[in-house]
Amino acid sequence: MSRPVARGAALAAALVLLLAVPRLAGSYVTDLLFTFFLYAVLAQGWNLMAGYCGLLSFGNLVFIGVGGFAVAVLHYYFGVSVWLALPLAGVASALLAYLVAIPINARRSRRTVWAWVGGAVLLWAAYEAAIAQAPWLDVFGGAYIRRVLILLLIFIGAVPVLRLQGAFFAVASWLIAASFQSVFTEWKLVGAGAGMQIASDASLAQMYDAALLLLVAATGAAWGMLRSRFGLALTAIRDDEEAAATAGIEVHAIKLLVFVLSGTMTGLAGGLYFINVVTVTPSAGFTIYWSAAMVFATVAGGMGTLGGPILGAALFVVVEQLLNGRAELGQLVLGVCSILLVLLLPQGLLGWRPWRRGPRAAPVTAKVVPEPG
């Protein structure tokens, strides 16, 4: 049996075994694996941005909160089933990611920015005038939250966030996430600081299957992309963006696609997480804890690898469960583990492969053929 066939058979057997877990194991094991699947999806989405495209983001947590609140709003106000609201939450996260990525076309950036700002201001003025005549049109529940949110959307549409690199992009993405937390904390429509309830009849086994399916889909999408020419373009952008652009690679288009795909993965995982915990609040949905978890899982497992985020998520969940109920100690241990991994295994756990250390092949040298005398 060839190696690819054997690997495929092993993966299929592992998938069948995982599908059987809710039917054979107890609720504790099922819930533990459910949590692991979600963290692996989050890490896979962050790895796609940072590990393959070089977009180091601390703001991916915004999609978790948006995904959770999208499910809550659709389920509570419109009576939408959580299983229909969940993919719609992914769409909402994708739209937000696309909104952030709008002004990245280098050839018409100024026109795009001014058109966006001008159009947004006109719509804002028209909305304010409409509210003055019909106060019931104010879905935000107050002038403060309405104006802050609209200004935030104008800022997102006007600033070319994806053109920023390194620490600048990381800080900008985190500021956007912090702004969303401030908005949702004051927004009465979504319960303000108290948040919203997602009272559904979804069972743990159903959520487990959905999380496993989401992980398989996210990993499969990343695997398919990386085995194509698109994957080569991603690594070229990560290594040297200017050289990639010189070589004819559409840098901005690829960044946009990766950013939207990563946001969709994160939003879906966030929505499913809050379906399980029932309550979604701004402090839980937009906390920096999510960014710390994504970064730790990806770096610990091996950034820029397909299996690294999955392995790192398993390590994260194990450490978190061992220290369950000891929040301060858990953060300290995770911090120590991060330092040790960076110092001892800078390439992550997948970078440590002693079992593959075999005899090295002899270097290939060119044969010198004597010229005929």
The pLDDT of residue 198 is: 95
In a domain, 188, yes or no: yes
**Which pTM was predicted?**
0.84
User: Residue 61 domain-assigned?
Assistant: yes
CA neighbor of 271 nearest in space, from 39, 75, 67, 40 = 67
Domain residue limits at 315: 24-348
Residuewise pLDDT in 10s, the chain (373 residues): 677 777 778 888 888 899 999 988 889 999 999 999 999 999 999 999 888 888 888 889 999 999 999 999 999 999 999 999 999 999 999 998 888 776 554 444 556 666 766 777 787 788 888 888 888 887 776 776 776 766 666 666 555 666 666 677 777 788 788 888 888 888 888 988 899 999 899 999 999 999 999 999 999 999 988 888 888 888 888 888 888 888 888 888 888 889 899 999 999 999 999 999 999 999 999 998 898 899 899 989 988 889 999 999 999 998 887 776 555 566 677 777 777 777 777 788 887 755 344 444 334 333 434 444 4
Distance in angstroms (rounded) separating the CA atoms of residues 274 and 190: 14
- Structural domain count, the chain: 1
For residue 6, tell me if it sits in a domain: no
Q: What is the CA radius of gyration of the chain?
A: 23
**Per-residue pLDDT, 147:** 67
Give the number of residues written for the chain. 373
H-type alpha helices, 227-326: 229-239, 241-246, 251-277, 282-285, 289-301, 308-322
Find out whether 189 and 133 touch, Cβ atoms under 8 Å: no
Q: Does 126 map to a domain?
A: yes
Domain-located, residue 368: no
What pLDDT was estimated at residue 359? Answer: 40
Find the helix packing angle between 166-186 and 143-158, rounded to 10°: 160
Name the helix (H) or strand (E) containing 197.
Answer: strand 196-197
Tokens of 266: 């994160």
Name which of 100, 10, 44 is nearest 225 in CA terms.
Answer: 44
The answer to whether residue 90 sits within a structural domain is yes
* Token representation of residue 119: 């159009």
